[in-house]
Amino acid sequence: MTLPFSGLTDQLESIHQDGLYRSRRVLDSGQGVHLVLKGQPFINFCSNDYLGLASHPDIAKAFKQGVDRYGVGSGSAHLICGHSLAHHALEEELADFTGRSRALLFSTGYMANMGLISALVGPSDTVLEDRLNHASLLDGGLLSGARFKRYTHADTEHLNRQLEMSAGKALVVTDGVFSMDGDFAPLAGLAKVTHKKNAWLMVDDAHGLGVIGANGGGVLEHYGLGQHEVPVLVGTLGKAFGTFGAFVAGSEALIETLIQKSRTYIYTTATPPALAEATRASLKIIIAETWRREKLKMLIKRFQRGAGQIGLAIKPNESPIQPVLIGDSHKASHVSRQLEQAGYLVSAIRPPTVPKGSARLRITFSALHEEQHIDQLLDALSHTDL
């Protein structure tokens, strides 16, 4: 007699043998550059807390004040009785920050992408996505029921040819900053192609907002593009903002359409109002404290110079995401463990998160890192089996 799920053990063993097994780290401390695991201190180089706001005291204070006013839970979906003054104020402030007509909060970035794409296109339409897009964007495209096409990474010419063969409405979807390589999407070219073909352009700038651009406006600020060129913008709040959740920003018609049609917005409980208050405090810091972005630029350049001096196979870019390419998944995991033994947390990223044969260390920087942290990491890397 075959027991239910009896094949799962074999599948897990196969994943382990391929060097692709995933494990969780259990933190004893709050988020930051300095972490504690099992009582041991580590320097953290694998967080998306790019501006160092996840444990900022002013943001924590705003959260506590929000709890005092609104309680812990929202109690309902936004469209029932869960939409508070805090949520509404944050949406208005995010719209202003991104230079758009309106913004709409979602519980997670995954839910934003799933609900957004499905609300805009259906079986008679076409979704075209960059081959290296985040899983949430790919899943959103596939589950929308639209014809699903992928274009070669950052290749506007290939996209143009794909658009020529597309039927119905066409939605072009891309990350702004690609999460595993740290490179920027060629948004100026994508905007030109989509405008010419009367297609919509959707950008998920999860890793750019708050970090890229003099004002933290992300890759759209970097390229000087607005709502006309990029009609659909997605941002997450759990990275540079240091809190949790996501939003979509765009025209009045876009936001009203999502309120009416986006299932991941309609059929889920709103995030706690206190969290919205915390994010409002975070947004103020992002706008005012430009030194955080300048500090990141300095740290990134220092790392790139040092990496070149010790012969690391890096893919330089302007983002806080600095991958060190290794290739073999077992080796990437091995080097990650060596760094952990030396007191540094650096994640090994392996398939299916990245293409087969392109396993890497994904090193990320925070504005709270110091120059000596960069130098110490480089020294540790030079003593691994890279």
Tokens of 20: 């692709």
Residue burial 201-220, b: 16+ Cβ < 10 Å; e: rest:
bbbbbbbbbbbbbeebbbbb
315 flagged as catalytic: no
207 flagged as catalytic: yes
Pick the catalytic residue from 56, 134, 239, 295: 239
179 flagged as catalytic: yes
* Nearest C-alpha neighbor of 53 from the set 35, 72, 33, 39: 33
* Nearest C-alpha neighbor of 51 from the set 275, 299, 264, 271: 299
* Distance between CA atoms of residues 52 and 151, nearest Å: 35
Instruction: List, edge to edge, every strand of the sheet that includes 147-151.
Output: 102-106, 246-250, 232-236, 200-204, 170-175, 126-130, 147-151
| DSSP code per residue over 294-338 | HHHHHHHHHHHHHHHHTT--B---SSSEEEEEEE-HHHHHHHHHH
Pick the catalytic residue from 134, 207, 222, 373: 207
The number of beta carbons lying within 10 Å of the beta carbon of residue 65 is 14
- What is the Cα Rg of the chain in Å? 21
* Distance between CA atoms of residues 107 and 109, nearest Å: 7
| 36 φ, ψ (degrees, to nearest 5) | -125, 125
Pick the catalytic residue from 118, 144, 166, 179: 179
* Distance between CA atoms of residues 230 and 192, nearest Å: 10
* Distance between CA atoms of residues 325 and 315, nearest Å: 8
CA atoms within 13 A on the CB side of 216: 25
Note whether 185 and 233 are within 8 A (CB). no
| 27 φ, ψ (degrees, to nearest 5) | -85, 140
Residue burial 249-267, b: 16+ Cβ < 10 Å; e: rest:
bbeeebbebbeeebebbbe
Q: Which helix (H) or strand (E) holds 201?
A: strand 200-204
Q: Which residues are catalytic?
A: 179, 207, 239
